[in-house]
A and B are shown apart, each in its own frame.
Chain A
Amino acid sequence: MTLTELYCLLPIVITGCAALFVLLCGPLLLSSSLTAIGVTASAAAGIWAAFTAPAPIQCIPGLAFTPLAQLLIPLFSFAAALTLLLSHGYNERRILKGEEYPATVLFALFAMCVLPCATNMLILFLALESVSFAFYILVSMDLNRAESGEAGLKYLLMGAVAAAFTAFGFALIFTGSGTLALSAALARPENRAIISAGWGVLILGMAFKLSLVPAHLWTPDVYQGAPSPVAAFLSTSSKVAAAALLLILLGHFPPMAELRAPLAALSVLSMVLGNLAALRQTNIKRMLAYSSVAHMGYLALALLTGSRDGYAAVLLYGAIYTAMNLAAFGAISSLSFEEEREQITDFTGIGFTAPVRGGVLALAMISLAGIPPTAGFIGKFFIFYSALKGGLIALAIVGILSAAASAYFYLRVVAQLYMHRSEAPAPKPVGFAEGLALCAASACILIIGVYPGPLLEMVETALR
């Protein structure tokens, strides 16, 4: 192992070690120091990855520090760090004690860091499933709420079936192409049937991860049941990870023509159903779940173009979506005290009684609705730009109309925050860690919204 290789592997090493360290030394340390360790480790991994040049790694087969990793590891680390910061106060209030929590988050991060580095299907699959494993645990972590366990069960059962589908897909593709290595895999015309069946199954497995219709049904339940910071992490990183997996696969296998129709159907159904089903949701977490169904539909739309622009749009949107949803769920989690604050009516007047958190939530909603000058607009612009460029005019029109309808439920939250009088007492002040996380997320939303140049550049580099 050369020094360069070590440098390249360092983010993975850092997160892995930090996870183990937290798990082992957890009982000896205060929860705040556990959070600090976790945040530091994630930040270190992210920053390191951002400033390391891509290079192959010879010593471990199936791994390489790809340009994609250079973009995604910082992104995942950012999400993990924010999740840890958010969880700190949340867990204290909800009496979720123990070192398992930060350790599991770090494990998830570890797996996520591996994922974009993978150059073969085995590593890819393992990384993806490890991420899911971590989330099975995180979702059901809250023993005080029955919903948490229920959500865990649903997620686990669905996840396991979906994993079987994904694995079957990989198996068929492997059988059809004769290699697990991504770079060597070629679509062999004589095995077209096998490979396309593999793709079909694989796509469905991925549809579960991305919660595309009809594999989306778990999403609202799991978001509702999971602790809010976990929902934040789940709705952002795990989706981006799944999208990244698809990107990697699609990048190596040029997408086959027969996949267009299924993907298009998934995309349209998700955009329409997600946005419509969210319209009258009274539970904000379920609403955000449906919104994420819709957003993943947009993402699928960009994927569908099969063009460089489309893939860039996917990555950009993933990054932006991460910031938006972290802010949204972060605000919800920081406003949850003895009970989860999840009914939209619970947020009445919060915009004035808790200006920072209310403001962040409102900003997140405006951004999710895709209104400038927030990041959501840039993301949406890029998605529809690539869709039009790819000639998906009908899909783009359906998508944009459903996006217009979506503004209704986002604004409903904003209206609830600011435009209704509330007699409820003001929520307790926000802690430092949570405040920091919220500010970071909203700063990202605004900065990307006004000056997306650097991020676009990073995205372009990642696809090189």
Chain B
Amino acid sequence: MTSLIPILSLLIFLPLVGALLVFALRQSASAARWLALAFGAAEFVLACAPLAIDRQGTAQVGVPTGFFLYQDHGWIDRFGIRFTLGMDGISLVMVILTAFITIVAIIASWKVKERQGLYLSLLLALQGAVQGLFLSLDLFLFYLFWEAMLIPMLFLIGVWGTGRPVYSTIKFFLYTFVGSLLMLLAIIALYLMHGAQTGSYTFALPALMHTTVPYQLGLWLFGAFLLSFAIKFPLFPLHTWQPDAYCDAPVAGTLMLASLLSKTAAYGLIRIAYPLFPEASRALTPLVYVVAVLGICYFAWVAFAQRDMKRMLAYSSVSHMGFVALGIAAWSPVAVSGALMQMVNHAITTGALFVMVGMLDERAESRDLSDFGGVWGKVPVLAFFFLIFNMASAGVPGLNNFVSELIVLVGVFKVAPAAALGAFLGSVLTLIYTVRLVQEVLFGKESKPTVLAEVSLREGSVLVLLAVVVVYLGVHPGPVLDLFKAPLELLLNK
């Protein structure tokens, strides 16, 4: 169904316009802040708008099945590249998630001291690119957004980062860049192959799905896609950019990286790589299982050794992303819906934890575990939220991560019990470092400085927002899971 208002384009361009306006207003930090927040909020409203429309609508001519919002414009005719956007349940959830996380990021960057306007403007630009990625149905367009995301991120880490920001940001960039360039070759190869077979040269994803790819070549092409996505994911052993980047990025940067950018990779696997190369993906599935399980356990284990909270969370974040990879690898409806759910939950939980570490860092000017202790006694409200998010991350039922991990594991167990068993082991390891984090920060004797500021209204609002989502998704994730159902049926039956 194509509505009168081009919601999909607006979803992409609204943040971009916002970025420009905020950039224009950068001289006045407070104006820039409120404007950015206003754009963030407007985007969120816009992102939620499709919830209100009829999503069952009858199929229309020219619109691929399953997409209840669809837009198609000519763009670069020479190559048959079109500006095609489409929204189904999966992208809807991802779009809402992006809008939500961006709001959190904007509020979390309220106190950025230097060049705040520019900072917020980059955040909005990044949001625009991510939204574009989640909506594009043209492979070229997808790739464009996939790479364009890197630019704002590059600056966010490099300019506002701490530690070794330049090293980290360039490492992050190069890592992802190598992978994505190989993916570009694969995309072009697929495009050429499809063109040669059908005579119509197009990057349209639904059309490309019908390409017959020889098995050997398919392996290579899928390998290129997989490599690119695995780096962004990141999967073991392609992850070493990630702790550095997460650690050195400013709070909002880490939030966007951990909560959204890693999701784009998972989204790419689900939306593009797996459906495009069903045979090749089947063949490489054991590999994905191995790296996913290895990742879950290995990262959880390494996380335990960390002294820097942010680095610990960075490892924790990849460890949890392993469940997403696991779910995708199993490629059964239950497992993939679990993976998608885990993407949402991971974004919320890990994002919240990074925000909280940012708050602690702001207060104590340290992220080293040994500088903390007895925070519970000093700032009980903050500690309360810290505990909740950590428990969510450890998979305590009633909170969000449990649901998705359960679905993934149940789904995976059906297909590959051995992989699921490995992941179960990981859940023990997860708890080990989580309680260590909780204990060293919250419990023990009060360390210096003995007085920390309690959460402010601004921070409180963010935390409450996140906590409500954490609990809601833990108790009643039905509506979100329902959205995944129809698109997954289509994707998996291909």
Contacts and interface: CB of A to CB of B under 8 A. Distances in A.
B76 A371 contact: no
B76 A403 contact: no
A98 interface: no
A177 B294 CA distance: 67
Q: Is the interface of A mostly helix, strand, loop or mixed?
A: helix
A419 B165 contact: yes
Interface residues of B, number: 33
A123 to B, nearest CB: 32
Interface stretch (B37-45, B176-184, B388-396, B427-435): B176-184
Q: Is the interface of B mostly helix, strand, loop or mixed?
A: helix
Contact of A408 (B143, B148, B161, B174): B174
Interface stretch (A43-51, A126-134, A383-391): A383-391
Contacts of A408: 170, 174
A377 B188 CA distance: 13
- Sort chain A's interface into a size bin: 20 to 34
Given A401-B181, A418-B155, A412 B170 contact: yes
A385 B166 contact: no
Contacts of A184: none
Contacts of A142: none
B158 interface: yes
A419 B153 CA distance: 13
Interface in A423-450: none
B78 A404 contact: no
B341 interface: no
A255 interface: no
A257 B143 CA distance: 35
Given A384-B185, A415-B158, A453-B76, A371 B151 contact: yes
B381 interface: no
Contact of A457 (B78, B143, B181): B78
Contact of A453 (B78, B166, B177, B178): B78
Nearest to A373: B148
A460 interface: yes
Contacts, number: 84
A404 B174 contact: yes
A125 to B, nearest CB: 33
Given A384-B188, A400-B185, A411 B78 contact: no
Nearest to A389: B192
A457 B170 CA distance: 36
B154 A385 contact: no
A16 to B, nearest CB: 35
B158 to A, nearest CB: 4
A453 B75 contact: yes
Contact of B173 (A385, A411, A456): A411
Nearest to B171: A408
B166 A420 contact: yes
B231 to A, nearest CB: 11
Nearest to A402: B181
A202 to B, nearest CB: 31
B144 interface: yes
Contacts of B147: 371-372, 377
A457 B79 CA distance: 11
Contacts of A389: 192
Contacts of B191: 385
A452 to B, nearest CB: 6
Central interface residue in A352, A408, A414, A419, by most chain B CB within 10 Å: A419
Contact of B169 (A366, A381, A419): A419
A419 B185 CA distance: 31
A377 B144 contact: yes
A264 to B, nearest CB: 17
Given A371-B150, A373-B148, A415 B185 contact: no
Contacts of B148: 371-373
B184 A381 contact: yes
A389 B178 CA distance: 21
A384 B184 contact: yes
Contacts of A381: 184, 188
Interface in B133-157: 143-144, 147-148, 150-151, 154-155
A11 B161 CA distance: 52
A405 B188 CA distance: 20
B438 interface: no
B162 to A, nearest CB: 12
Contacts of B151: 366, 371
A388 B182 CA distance: 12
B170 A411 contact: yes
Contact of B158 (A372, A401, A418, A451): A418
Contacts of B365: none
B170 A388 contact: no
A367 to B, nearest CB: 11
B159 interface: yes
A452 B181 contact: no
Contacts of A457: 78
A451 B81 CA distance: 11
5 contacts: A371-B177, A400-B184, A411-B170, A415-B166, A419-B159
Interface of A: 352, 366, 369, 371-373, 377, 381, 384-385, 388-389, 396-397, 400-401, 403-405, 407-408, 411-412, 414-415, 418-420, 451-453, 456-457, 460
Given A372-B147, A404-B181, A460-B78, 7 more contacts: A352-B115, A396-B185, A405-B174, A415-B166, A419-B161, A452-B76, A453-B76
Q: Give the 5 A-B CB pairs with smallest separation, nearest first.
A: A419-B158, A404-B178, A456-B78, A372-B144, A415-B166
Interface of B: 75-79, 115, 143-144, 147-148, 150-151, 154-155, 158-159, 161, 165-166, 169-170, 173-174, 177-178, 181-182, 184-185, 188-189, 191-192
